[in-house]
Structure 1
Amino acid sequence: MGIARSVPQERRRATRVDRLERPSPCGARRRRNPDCRVIVVKISGSCHCGAIAYEAEIDPARVVVCHCCDCQKLTGSAYRVSVGTRRSQLVVHRGKPTLYVKGADSGAKRAQEFCPCCGSPLFTYDLQNPEKVGLRVGCIDQRSELRPSKQVWRRSALAWSSCLAHLPSQEQE
């Protein structure tokens, strides 16, 4: 995996997330780290019914909200939130996802992996480049700690999706 060293215990936040640091190519877009370091976080996740469980290492600065029409249809929602990892940094501990392949607007063949029991969307990747895997943030146990860093396909965004703060809300239903 190429991990250089663990961050000392005193620098860790009081969470279940293990943070590691490793060098990144200095040409990478990492404006927040002038010493050219990438923060790597170990996460765990599962589908809704628990039939599939996994662990992965991610860069929490790479959480993306996608508003494309495919993501809207595949989630049944206004957008999808994902974070990238490498296949070599993803370990499925339990279960076997079902594969669905969809042709994207770009012409790329996108693989969508989901739980065959409950239907939870778990992973996505380009069939031409399966080493880069997108993890669906909603299935990650540490999802409350992962904040999106950018949005893509805004031209497809539903107009009401950009500001929900003004709506009446309640803690539970």
Structure 2
Amino acid sequence: MVSNPNTFEYAPNHNEIDDFFRGKDRYFVRSPDYFGHVHGANISGQVCRFVAESEESGEKFEEAFLAYMAGLDMTGEELSHLLANLSSYFAEKNRGRMAGVNLFSSHDSPAALLLRRYLALLHHAGLYDAVKPELEIHASYIEKLGSDVVFACMREVEEAC
């Protein structure tokens, strides 16, 4: 029996990591409910299978996710992709399927700093208030999974701006 190739493993080797996290082209998984991309399918399937292979695989995922976060555009669509990926990541982390991956190990982790920076840029671009309801929905979900990092980043941005 031939196993299916792991699209997450393929993406960084072909400079397509942004496409993977955005669900573009070969990485698109259609939802039967709303016909959009299901970010959770890629995270729970492709990424979890990849990081389970070795500690090094977990580190590669972290590097790829940080690179994706560092290159985010200032749009509502981009924020939606980020939040869906974050919610999926925290859901799998909560299920114990992301052992060895510690993107948000503290409020000062590189991932948390990138999230804060992105939210501050959205604020300075005048987009923050329009996307705040979506932020709060995902922040609440992630908090129920045991992390207040999104709410903490939101508070810091709102206090600073």
- TM-score category, normalised to shorter length: under 0.3
Rg bigger for which structure? 1
Greater helix proportion: 2
TM-score (norm 2): 0.26
Greater strand proportion: 1
